Amino acid sequence: MHRLSSSLRTRSAAETLKYAMEIAPRLGITRVTDTTWLDRIGIPVYASIRPAAATGSLCVNAGKGLHDIEAKIGAYMESIEFAYAEFNDSKIPIIRSSPAEILASYNGRIDFVDLCPLMDRTILAEELMMAVCARDLLDTNEVLLPAELIFIPFHSELNRKVFGQSSNGLCSGNTTDEAIVHGLCELMERDVQAFNFIYDRSALVDLDCLSPEVTSLIRKIKNAGLIISIRHTESSFGFAYFQAFLMEAHPESPISIAIGSGLHLIKEVALVRAICEAAQSRLSHIHGGRDDLIERAKYFERLGRPIELQAIYQLRNDAQSPTKRISYSTINDSSKDIRSIADALGLIIRRLQAYGLKSICFLPLTPNNSPIQVVRVVVPSLESFDPSLKRIGPRLGKYVSDTK
């Protein structure tokens, strides 16, 4: 196993990049470029360009990391993921099914609402729903998943959205297991975020006992004249979760605040991911190539600048609130338990099972012999609510009721 600053790999960074670059041209990825220089921080961020991406997918993807090669790998891998997730070019068979049939494939282990449909959707047990066959890490039998949870974008004759479009759980790696580790960390990260959107339980982190690598990241941010705030939220699974906020000194600057998140078994990896993602968020706005930024701009255009500024001031205040505090040195770290990708995957599975989750589904989107594996991971009962995609399952629903 190779531990990089922001991920675990079965191959070295150089080998991983080599295979990603070999695959990229076949998928229409025409260029991966260094965008770091567009901002003044200096944390590596790269952008990948896929001009022929399907409508509803992304033409521009990004990657970040402590080192240039990691950011370059990230840009390639994310673009490869989105290419394989497109429904129109997929070789994966689609089945005409129904919610009742999908549910029956789990033999009573889950309820259909555990898949977290959009709020206020009425779902009939026997209505037509397109599905795919997937595998379950906790059961030897195949299970069915709604195709809408797999493909980006997904178009069908039904033209009805039950779950909405999200890339949560879309992941890649040198092996299927490596990809699943990345995907599960992302799904747990989004689960923590979903609960924080309802009621923010985070604590301001006192950054004691940092490694030289993390110290160098923070120094770059401060030398650029930015304010950094790190917050931690205790997750249901015992893994470290951080949010990083990078703020301009003046609240009304064009990119007043940028946010990044990270959850990982190794707390330093989680922290590096959060900080680098915040830097990537800034550069995505500066670069202007991300298709998904347009909706945010349109949203605040409709509401007006005063409302946008009110939201910015509130977010900056929340990011720096000292009401709750925690020292970095006291936060859980599982690095001593991990010597291989198999160790990492096994630990995640045990934690999810201990929390009471009954199914961990995955579907490889790439051929078995591909040197880079793209996988879609779906874990029933993990929440993925955010303000732009109001999906909600029983756990979050109960949380909302209990916190009223």
Q: Quick check: 390 and 400 in contact, CB under 8 A? A: no
List, as own/partner pairs, every contact residues 146-151 make where C-beta atoms lie below 8 angstroms and the sequence separation is at least 24, other chains included: 146/102, 146/115, 147/87, 147/94, 149/115, 149/376, 149/378, 150/85, 150/92, 150/363, 150/365, 150/376, 150/378, 151/85, 151/86, 151/87, 151/90
DSSP state of 386: B
User: Which residues on neighbouring strands pair with residue 244, listed in sequence order?
Assistant: 230, 260
Average pLDDT over residues 64-86: 97
**Distance separating alpha carbons of residues 82 and 51, to the nearest angstrom:** 12
280 and 162, same structural domain? no
110 and 24, same structural domain? no
Assigned domain for 259 exists: yes
Q: How many domains does the chain have?
A: 3
Whether pLDDT at 215 is above 90: yes
**Distance separating alpha carbons of residues 117 and 249, to the nearest angstrom:** 40
Query: What pLDDT score does 290 carry?
Result: 59
198 and 129, same structural domain? no
Closest CA to 221 of 261, 272, 269, 268: 272
Assigned domain for 198 exists: yes
Q: Quick check: 232 and 240 in contact, CB under 8 A? A: yes
98 and 73, same structural domain? no
323 and 193, same structural domain? yes
- For 94, list phi and psi in degrees, rounded to 5: -105, 135
pLDDT in tens, 345-392: 999 999 999 999 999 999 999 999 999 999 999 999 999 999 889 999
Residue 265 zone, left/alpha/beta (φ > 0; ψ -120 to 50; rest):
alpha
Average pLDDT, the chain: 94
Tell which of 39, 60, 89 closes a domain: 89
pTM above 0.75, yes or no: yes
Query: What pLDDT score does 120 carry?
Result: 87
The band of 207, judged by pLDDT with boundaries at 50, 70 and 90, is: very high
Tell which of 336, 353, 388 closes a domain: 336
Structure tokens at 102: 């999908």
Domain assignment of residue 198, given as a range: 189-336
**At residue 322, what is the residue type?**
P
Assigned domain for 345 exists: no
Burial class (CB in 10 A: 0-12, 13-18, 19+), 91: exposed
Query: What pLDDT score does 118 carry?
Result: 96
Query: What pLDDT score does 179 carry?
Result: 98
Assigned domain for 36 exists: yes
pLDDT in tens, 8-61: 999 999 999 999 999 999 999 999 999 999 999 999 999 999 999 998 899 999
Assigned domain for 147 exists: yes
314 and 258, same structural domain? yes
Assigned domain for 46 exists: yes
**Distance separating alpha carbons of residues 263 and 268, to the nearest angstrom:** 10
278 and 220, same structural domain? yes
Assigned domain for 375 exists: no
Burial class (CB in 10 A: 0-12, 13-18, 19+), 295: exposed
120 and 53, same structural domain? no
Structure tokens at 274: 């959060």
318 and 193, same structural domain? yes
Other C-beta atoms within 10 Å of 143: how many? 25
298 and 205, same structural domain? yes
- Rounded to whole angstroms, what are the CA distances from 20 to 26, 85, 122, 151, 165? 11, 16, 42, 21, 25
285: CATH: 3.30.160.660
Assigned domain for 351 exists: no
**Distance separating alpha carbons of residues 275 and 66, to the nearest angstrom:** 9
The band of 156, judged by pLDDT with boundaries at 50, 70 and 90, is: confident
240 and 150, same structural domain? no
41: CATH: 3.30.160
- Rounded to whole angstroms, what are the CA distances from 185 to 97, 112, 265, 333, 399? 30, 23, 8, 14, 22
Tell which of 303, 336, 369 closes a domain: 336
111 and 75, same structural domain? no
**Distance separating alpha carbons of residues 349 and 183, to the nearest angstrom:** 12
Q: Which of 153-162, 168-177, 214-223 has the lowest mean pLDDT?
A: 153-162
pLDDT in tens, 80-119: 999 999 998 788 999 999 999 999 999 999 999 999 999 9
Whether pLDDT at 300 is above 80: no
The answer for residues whose C-beta is within 8 angstroms of residue 117's C-beta and 6 or more apart is 123, 162, 163, 391, 392
Whether pLDDT at 291 is above 70: no
Average pLDDT over residues 289-313: 74
Query: What pLDDT score does 322 carry?
Result: 95
Whether pLDDT at 335 is above 70: yes
Q: Which residue in the block uniquely carries the two structure tokens 């800034």?
A: 282
Query: What pLDDT score does 301 carry?
Result: 73
Interaxial angle between packed helices 212-223 and 267-287, expressed in degrees from 0 to 180 and rounded to the nearest 10: 30
Query: What pLDDT score does 169 carry?
Result: 97
**Distance separating alpha carbons of residues 179 and 173, to the nearest angstrom:** 4
